[in-house]
Structure 1
């Protein structure tokens, strides 16, 4: 009888029972078992294989040795696949998915010859408590929107609530399974230039998420690759945007000379790409931060004023849709950092308050602003007020995997230590220490490999 008419799926032609030399048949409901669904959700093919072998639909569990014989590997090799890190290479994932005939709609990657996967849309703000999980809910792109651009927007939205430590792997998976087959495989959908631009935008996003996860060397590599891809894609505003990202990363790595160089390169590139107020304001703000780090407060103040005036100009022409917006809250964030560096704490505090008023509660940028304000208040000799502000942060970031947030928590902890005789400060620091310890465990669990 034809297997299609019975609702069964063969793993291999002519294959039979578990104790034979061939894979068994499985019914459609086979894939609804909780252990298999959990393994698929965790994106770990080795765990999928283990759950497959132990499935109660088999007359008896399939041994590793038996499964190994079916695929031509040893029991030890299969054990390492099942118990080791997740398989990252697309060709191996496709081999296992094809062998086990896993339905395509359950996979986190695209099989050759299948229609493009739907685009990840915005996800709920609350993440699962622990462990790997599917970070995006799959829905259709709206209207005629480019699916890759829709994916970038969805990842950006999720990033604000979850942090780069959780989302980095999801972005890399999208690059490997959705972009790479179109760039280097036989899939000819779309024109080459727009595809390179999509690769540049997503690669830059991967750089930001690596940076947020505390992996600046990987971030630098991603930014440099994105720069080359943007050149091939001829998206000049995206090219400027990536240069600005490299400037920001250099500032974080305490390399103000390099940061200023990238910012000047971005300014020159923008002069050739066409005027855009948002990008111009971002460049001025980065130059201001670099001059502040070089102990040149006059230059820093002047450039911040230029950035503010520029951002008030009409927003035409529109920059690349792949470049993230630089708005009033973005400028206030750069200004607060710059003004803290030059010692203008009252002005820095005003900018931190401005960000808190502009960014939604529960987002990373809102938490950054609150911690910045707490640090400023402590420096001004108001540790009680700082603890009140920072307590709100601790209540809102339990599922936000951002190493940069954790660094700010460490900095605040160091600032508050001289005030431990203050009862309120002592109680807050005890809680802060516990939160930092919990976050260290979170970062280890979601470490970038």
Structure 2
């Protein structure tokens, strides 16, 4: 027997609705799949959730969370929740079905990500996290069909206004946005001059958790809001590490963690359209990886270097791919090889080398078909079928074949990823560009206009620049039509709002 009402907003369900949610709530939930939703207090009183909490088994808590009726009749996929937690689907499956987690840092982090109220936990959160969790768990008015949850970028904008806002207060606002409070390292970052002269393994783990938070938040909100903060955090932690003392074991872990932070900072500068700043971070990451003989970190840095240098130095881009393939020989997974061959395919297209493009693209598709692996590095989560199609489309654009590019991008927009929202928006902009290059200005305007609300929520400098260029092209008098005028007006209103 089906429910007559939506479990989220209480509205009546249509007779033919077999999803368990009304259409407005389904739409609202799709927007929130990049991060856990804010659930009502009654969520945690559900029988299976309470039993899992009583058993002190966080894996079972996660499973009960995924199958909660609040999410509708279909459970949340493991891939979605694993993305929130910064692990792979296979790892989450083992956690749900294996022995209880015992590491306090992971228990604390996951409890904060899912916003589990402290009163239900069998372990204590640090004092500052308890305040955050209690605030998150406070009774909230459920968003109805026409309401939207508060936007984090609005909070950030308010913190950047005048009126005596201090640099420290701005830092705390940015840190809250990035979820740094969850890592236990906020005090360390906000006041480095008060930190200890020695570095412990616990502090290294806190920094590693911080990098994971940057990565998770970037996937949800884009790089514009995080780039400056990452640069500042990188500078402070690098300076602290250079002056502090630590054991050999801690030193190796610290070098790997700082290399990870440098790579993430480089990526954020690329996505925020501050590309010239990225090379120094990638060079640093390669150096730190070699200090500790860490080929996995070195390969990641080379993969991003190939992306960075593709347009200005395509020859160097191909050398970076070759270096990464050599370094990963013997241990690299199919998903890693897929990414590297995709990087090469896109670079060959930049060089207008059709045979090189087809050769690299065939290798990428062949590796992708081999499937995912439990040994895949977490950063490879974005290497999906949509990403393969997206790179193919970008290559066709570079090769002057917008019709084939549009087909690739359309395949992505017709099968959207609920998790990689930023990438989905990026390739939707590319579809509008492909339509424009075909001379189909009305389709380009229509596609771009439908993106405007999403672009405001996911801030990427690359996307903003390309959308601005498209507006400039479509706004020229010789291309004026009802559709293009409507887009230009909507774009200008959104930008100046």
TM-score by length of 1: 0.63
CA distance in 2, matches of 1:429, 1:362: 27
CA distance in 2, matches of 1:202, 1:255: 25
CA distance in 2, matches of 1:297, 1:181: 48
Indicate whether 1:294 and 2:336 are aligned.
no
Deviation at 1:152, TM superposition (A): 2.5
CA distance in 2, matches of 1:153, 1:363: 18
Q: Taking structure 1 as reference, are residues 206 and 324 closer, same or farther at Cα in structure 2, changes over 3 Å only?
A: farther
Deviation at 1:201, TM superposition (A): 0.8
Aligned residue in 2 for 1:256? 314
Please list, as runs of the form range in 1=range in 2, the aligned pairs for 1:39-438 lying within 5 A after superposition. Answer: 126-128=152-154, 130=157, 131=160, 132=170, 133-134=173-174, 135-137=177-179, 138-139=181-182, 146-177=205-236, 181-182=240-241, 184-186=243-245, 191-251=250-310, 253-271=311-329, 274-316=331-373, 318-321=375-378, 325-356=382-413, 357-360=415-418, 363-417=421-475, 420-435=479-494
Kept in 2: contact 1:237–1:319 (CA 8 A): no
Deviation at 1:281, TM superposition (A): 0.9
Query: Aligned residue pairs: how many?
Result: 320
Q: Deviations over 1:298-347 (max 9, x none)?
A: 22122112101101214346144466652223222221111111233333
Deviation at 1:428, TM superposition (A): 1.3
Kept in 2: contact 1:201–1:323 (CA 8 A): no
CA distance in 2, matches of 1:189, 1:321: 26
CA distance in 1, matches of 2:246, 2:273: 35
Deviation at 1:243, TM superposition (A): 0.5
Kept in 2: contact 1:420–1:426 (CA 8 A): no
CA distance in 2, matches of 1:209, 1:336: 23
Aligned residue in 2 for 1:56? none
**Unpaired stretches in structure 1, ≥5 consecutive residues:** 1-114, 439-449
Q: Taking structure 1 as reference, are residues 189 and 140 closer, same or farther at Cα in structure 2, changes over 3 Å only?
A: farther
More helix by share: 2
In angstroms, what is the RMSD of aligned CA positions? 3.4
Aligned residue in 2 for 1:20? none
Kept in 1: contact 2:334–2:373 (CA 8 A): yes
Q: Deviations over 1:346-378 (max 9, x none)?
A: 332232133332333893212111110111112
Q: Taking structure 1 as reference, are residues 289 and 427 closer, same or farther at Cα in structure 2, changes over 3 Å only?
A: same
Kept in 2: contact 1:200–1:227 (CA 8 A): yes
CA distance in 2, matches of 1:147, 1:158: 16
Q: Taking structure 1 as reference, are residues 254 and 417 closer, same or farther at Cα in structure 2, changes over 3 Å only?
A: farther
CA distance in 1, matches of 2:433, 2:357: 21
Q: Which moved more, 1:122-131 or 1:407-416?
A: 122-131
CA distance in 2, matches of 1:225, 1:258: 17
Q: Deviations over 1:116-173 (max 9, x none)?
A: 997x9999863225125332342368xx995444322321221133322211233234
Aligned residue in 2 for 1:85? none
Kept in 2: contact 1:125–1:158 (CA 8 A): no
TM-score by length of 2: 0.57
Kept in 2: contact 1:371–1:409 (CA 8 A): yes
CA distance in 2, matches of 1:171, 1:189: 26
Kept in 1: contact 2:183–2:210 (CA 8 A): no
Kept in 2: contact 1:275–1:317 (CA 8 A): no
Q: Taking structure 1 as reference, are residues 415 and 362 closer, same or farther at Cα in structure 2, changes over 3 Å only?
A: farther
CA distance in 1, matches of 2:457, 2:371: 38
Kept in 1: contact 2:336–2:380 (CA 8 A): no
CA distance in 2, matches of 1:318, 1:116: 36
CA distance in 2, matches of 1:320, 1:217: 26
CA distance in 2, matches of 1:117, 1:187: 27
Deviation at 1:383, TM superposition (A): 1.8
**Unpaired stretches in structure 2, ≥5 consecutive residues:** 1-125, 137-148, 161-169, 185-201
Secondary structure class of the residue paired with 1:313:
coil
Larger Rg belongs to? 1
Kept in 1: contact 2:258–2:285 (CA 8 A): yes
